[in-house]
Structure 1
Amino acid sequence: MSQPNVPNITPQISLTRENAITLLLASIALEELGLGHIVNTEAEKIQYALGTFQGLTQPVALSDLFLLNTSIQNMLQTVIQKEMLLCDTLTRILDSEVSTGPTGLTGPTGTTGAAATGAQGPNGITGSTGITGTTGSTGTIGATGPVGVTGATGITGATGETGLTGATGATGVTGSSVTGATGLTGAIGNPGVAGVTGATGTTGSTGVTGSTGSDGITGDTGITGPCPDCPPGPTGPTGADGIGPTGATGATGLQGITGFTGATGATGELITVNNANFITVGTQTENGTSITLQGLSNILLTPNKTYFCEYNAEFSTPTVGRVASAELRLNGVLIPGSQTLSFPTAMPLGQNTPTASVSGGVLFNTPASPNPSVLQLVGFPPLGVSGANFSGVNVRISEVNAVNTAPVTANNAAIYGYGYVNVPYNTPIPFLEAEVINGTGISFSQATPTVISLAPNAIYFASYNFIECPLIANLPVRVLLTLNDVPLYQSLSVAPPLTDGESRSGGAGSAVFHTGPDTNELKLVNTNLEEIKFVAANVNIMQIG
């Protein structure tokens, strides 16, 4: 480490203020150089322990790594404390005045404004001075008088009025609580045809009518009037009707014969009636006839169909920090947007083999030829690493556009992009083209490569994945979907940080959301403050309501 070159300072100090400040800045720079050597030494310790530094033939034991980590951590804490002191010293030096220049020349005095003075009047006649009288003799000082009586204490003044109470501060805004989106309701099959209703049974005969009750007692005749020639008097009231016993109810007729039950109607077809789940050991679930497994690697699909496929694969490597990739191929050709990278392998707790997993998904159409189409999942171990092993694979595939039906997922799309593109903060990631677009509810144009247009007042499910190269060490990359530039926070995905910044990492996310009544634009946005280099991106969208 170089030594500071300080001039010889005699007892009669001849340094100027500028020289003193320059020497202070030079001393800070030399201390920073020394700290840099210390940090470099700690880095070389790590390289030596990990075997990347020349001279090590045996790997370091795990206990030694722990001791080395503690030593380096203590040293870096000391370096950080020293950096804070140097930063404070540098700030104070930069805030001080280096030197004071000479006082500038005084500017010329301005001319005095004109002010007219009136003519002076004539002086008056000075009067004659009177004769000064003789000074009289000083009289004797009189005796001091008695102290007067102390007066009564005055009345205490009235208490002043109490000041007005200050206004109450405004209540803080209540934070909003976002409710998660409701899960998708499975599609209901068409109801079967109702069976033929059986014939109505014969109505039973009416029971015999009961006998009529006897007449009531006739009322007494009214008294004859005294005048035989007079007109007759009013007729007396009619006697009450006689109440006879009610006849017995007739017997109930026999019940008619129940008609035959009609045949059960055929069960309606679901849009996902054709689906399957394949695992490493074979087929776990297989419904319908348009998806079948041939051998252990070929999935046979019906032509002119739309499928949605998801996969995940677990793998192991001899050493930690390795990255594998996987992709889907249809008839031997890569399906754009299906390729993904794993997180770096790590050592799980209680195991002795580094493992990681890779997952992805894509929407795609099968061509008319060949019949059937062959779907394959292809894995790529880390470059230059032998001994990598794919230990578990799971593939889930569903047909989402059934023939002779009009499902809500008739509107679906798969849009992808690839190539090295630098994307600044809060800027959408551009796409290249649409691999699949069915229906009119989703549209994409290369003229606006960052925008996916959606129909108004609809419900969509969107999933995405991406591969990026941050170019900055230890930087996690955050990506999410936005609808009309409003973040869909449930879709946030974070790619893990990389120690070198030059390798590739990736992530995936999804969201269910409603569109508004007007224009709706879906975007995939980089939310890092730093500019990120994106290698590939893929979005799968289905209208579900």
Structure 2
Amino acid sequence: MPFPNIPPEGINPIDGLDPEQVALLLLANIAFEELGLAYLINTGAENLQGAIGTLVDENGVLLNPLIQAESLDDLLTVNREVEKMLRTIVKKEMLLQFKFENVLDLLATISPPPDCIQPMIALTISSGDNGCTFNISGTVTCSGQPVSSGMVTLTATMSSGSGTVTVSPNAAMITNGTFSATLAATNFTFGTAEVTATTAINGVTVSTTATTNVDCFISRCSSFRYGGSSLSKNQIYPPGWNSN
């Protein structure tokens, strides 16, 4: 019965692992040794079944009739061999029990990770190539340390002015304490956009809000002609629009 190599050949199993990970690796080793012993016990049971002639397949056909005992001495011989193997397995089980208890003692000495006392989320919005797209970036920390994973929910609205803004993705993934997204404004959107980021860390919900000025007008002509009259861009932009 083949077994996988744990770890693969040429790899140091504890290089870069913390004590808890080492303990879990030792528990996996114990589990595989127990699996091997179970395989040996099953083999001994099949030897006894074969010796007394009760080892059959699902159709009741006798398997390997050549190992069936022909006399009482043959049966006792098989029984003694199986008994020796079981004695060896019992000794191995005792060693594994000692090993298991040592691993439990190791786990008892490992301090749990510190609780998240001060979860924080920070948000920054920077302008992109034009006044219509913006880069959103942020950080998520717990007691001053980056949060390794999680999700941040992002929402965007126009707190003043006119038009529409959207954020993508609206559920950003946290990777090593950072996340990112994109804020996009539709054409003819101007005013102040507001982005809110929300996440939950160890059951504690935290959120923050950042704002940015939006001036999205894709066609920035200096003047237009309407009905034979020339209109300047100051006459075209709505009041309050930054037309520079």
Q: TM-score range by the shorter chain?
A: 0.3 to 0.5
Q: Which has the higher helix share?
A: 2
TM-score (normalizing by structure 2)? 0.38
Instruction: Give the TM-score of the pair, scaled to structure 1.
Output: 0.18
